């Protein structure tokens, strides 16, 4: 009997899970809260075992073909002189610029289309209003549509997951002490295929990356404890960041000008999620909803893909969804916890407070970029090893 599965959230982890389950013959509906497919987001990396999963899905080539074309990262000073250069070619698939760099929206679209091709249904503009479960299924109420009963509900709702709150309360979100603002700006004369990173005193950074649409993806990073920016309306957030970065130097004035008219401005308090369990009965969590790593690790997207693969694999091994959710957590928890790890010095090194700190940063990055320590550098940036050994669920044979 095909299982009737509800997956909430149509970004990375949810659509990836839908591909596997629909391919295995389950009756899958993906429910997305936004009224339409969310195209936004910046460059995300697929690293290590995340690449293996994409290959097993038969989607590695599609992702490569939709890559951003970023060829590396240049760390620059206020006069745009390079202080350290990390070419993708020199650092391998998991260096500072990963081999598989893609815009989040492009990756999500590839996964959604692959799931639809396997028979998964997508519904936008609705969300779960509540659920109750018994030993045999989950009764779900929706904010807009009529109620329905499922064999399994999986929330892939990202860091702010309301299903996680329903299952486990407010606990689990941990701020890292960084604000990040993302938006798209017109391409400037200095914007080429290399990303550029500029650090200004006061824990501020400006990061510019190429995309494949002839525009530039900008990120402003500010190292500080949560101070309420997240509660401001978008105009207030823009004003706060304009004031914060007004005297940063380098190309910041044109970045701020672009920010004012960017249609996709988005600000987040960077944080992680660490909760004691990822499921209750037949309701489970996957991706950022369960174990958000924060963009600082570069592992969020890879873990979303890996988690979907492991959950689908464990569901293929037993007819009991609750047992599959428990087995998935046993396999996935150590992988997710390792992926959440980042050098604690990272935020301070990348966002120094003082000019002296910036000089130290340039020195350290210059050494890290040198030929003699490249392998170590790759390890620090992205976990250069191929990642965990993934269980073989027999799905490789069914892929492609």
Ligand X SMILES: Cc1cc2nc3c(=O)[nH]c(=O)nc-3n(C[C@H](O)[C@H](O)[C@H](O)COP(=O)(O)OP(=O)(O)OC[C@H]3O[C@@H](n4cnc5c(N)ncnc54)[C@H](O)[C@@H]3O)c2cc1C
Is the separation of the CB atoms in 63 and 54 below 8 Å? yes
The nearest distance, CB 230 to ligand X, in angstroms, is 15
Q: Does 104 bind ligand X (CB under 6 A)?
A: yes
Contacts for 392 with CB less than 8 Å, ≥ 6 apart: none
Q: How far apart are CA 146 and CA 149, in angstroms?
A: 10
User: At closest approach, how far in Å is the CB of 397 from ligand X?
Assistant: 26
210, two tokens = 């190429």
3-class secondary structure, 296: helix
- Single residue of 41, 96, 210, 347 touching ligand X by CB under 6 A: 41
Cβ closest to ligand X, residue 307 vs residue 358: 307
The tally of CA atoms less than 13 A away on the side-chain side of residue 346 is 18
Three-state DSSP class for 253? Answer: helix
Place of tokens 């928890």: 333
Of the pair 164, 204, the CB lying nearest ligand X is at: 164
Q: Decide if 245 contacts 228 (C-beta within 8 A).
A: no
Query: Interface with ligand X by CB under 6 A: which range of 11-19, 79-87, 231-239, 321-329?
Result: 11-19
Q: Which of residues 276-315 bind ligand X (CB under 6 A)?
A: 287-288, 295, 300-301, 304
Shortest reach from residue 217's CB to ligand X, in Å: 8
Judge contact between 142 and 129, C-beta under 8 A. Answer: yes
For ligand X, the binding residue among 5, 19, 28, 31 (CB under 6 A) is 31
| CA-CA-CA-CA torsion sign (278, 284, 288, 289) | negative
Rank residues 162 and 215 by Cβ distance to ligand X and give the closer one.
Answer: 162
Residue ranges in 137-166 that form contacts with ligand X under rule CB under 6 A? 156-158, 162
Closest to ligand X by CB, 15 vs 313, is 15
Instruction: Round to whole Å and give the CA distance between 288 and 76.
Output: 32
Q: Residues 46-65: x/- map of binding to ligand X (CB under 6 A)?
A: --------------------
Contact flag: residue 8 with ligand X (CB under 6 A): yes
Cα separation, 242 vs 197, in Å, equals 18
Q: Which of 5, 12, 270, 325 binds ligand X (CB under 6 A)?
A: 12
**Residue 225 · residue 269 · CB < 8 Å:** no
Residue 38 found at the interface with ligand X (CB under 6 A): yes
Structural contact between residues 124 and 37, judged by C-beta atoms closer than 8 angstroms: yes
Binding positions for ligand X, 176-195, rule CB under 6 A: 182
Per CB under 6 A, 42 contacts ligand X: yes
Give the residues lining the site for ligand X (CB under 6 A): 8-14, 31-34, 38, 40-42, 44, 104, 127, 156-158, 162, 182, 287-288, 295, 300-301, 304
């Amino acid at each position: 009997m095909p299982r009737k599965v509800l997956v909430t959230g149509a970004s990375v982890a949810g659509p990836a899970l839908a591909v596997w389950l629909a391919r295995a013959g389950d009756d899958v509906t993906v429910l997305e809260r936004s009224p339409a497919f969310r195209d936004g987001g910046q460059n995300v990396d697929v690293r290590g075992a995340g690449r293996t999963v994409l290959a097993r899905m038969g989607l590695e080539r599609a992702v490569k073909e939709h890559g951003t074309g970023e060829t590396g990262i240049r760390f620059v000073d206020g006069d745009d002189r390079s202080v350290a250069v990390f070419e993708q070619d020199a650092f391998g698939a998991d260096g500072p610029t990963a081999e598989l760099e893609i815009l989040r929206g492009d990756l999500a679209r590839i996964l959604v289309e692959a799931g639809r091709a396997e028979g998964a249904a997508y519904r936008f503009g609705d969300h779960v209003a509540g659920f109750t479960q018994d030993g045999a299924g989950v009764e779900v109420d929706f904010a807009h549509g009529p109620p329905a009963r499922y064999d399994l509900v999986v929330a892939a709702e990202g860091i702010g997951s309301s299903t996680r709150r329903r299952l486990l309360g407010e606990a689990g979100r941990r701020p890292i002490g960084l604000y990040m603002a993302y938006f798209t700006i017109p391409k400037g004369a200095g914007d080429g295929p290399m990303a550029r990173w500029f650090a200004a005193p006061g824990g501020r950074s400006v990061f510019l990356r190429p995309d494949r649409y002839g525009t530039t993806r900008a990120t402003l990073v500010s190292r500080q404890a949560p101070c309420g920016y997240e509660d401001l309306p978008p105009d207030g957030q823009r004003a706060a960041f304009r004031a914060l970065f007004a005297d940063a130097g380098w190309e910041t004035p044109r970045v701020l000008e672009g920010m004012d008219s960017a249609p996709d401005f988005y600000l987040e308090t960077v944080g992680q999620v660490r909760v004691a369990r990822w499921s209750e009965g037949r309701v489970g969590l996957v991706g950022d909803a369960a174990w958000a790593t924060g963009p600082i690790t570069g592992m969020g997207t890879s873990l979303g893909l890996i988690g979907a693969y492991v959950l689908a694999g464990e569901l293929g091994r037993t007819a009991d969804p609750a047992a599959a959710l428990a087995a998935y957590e046993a396999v996935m928890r150590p992988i997710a916890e390792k992926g959440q790890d980042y050098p604690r010095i990272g935020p301070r090194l990348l966002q120094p407070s003082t000019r002296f700190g910036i000089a130290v940063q340039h020195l350290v990055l210059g050494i890290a970029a040198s030929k003699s320590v490249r392998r170590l550098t790759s390890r620090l940036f992205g976990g250069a090893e191929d990642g965990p050994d993934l269980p073989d669920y027999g799905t490789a044979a069914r892929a492609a």
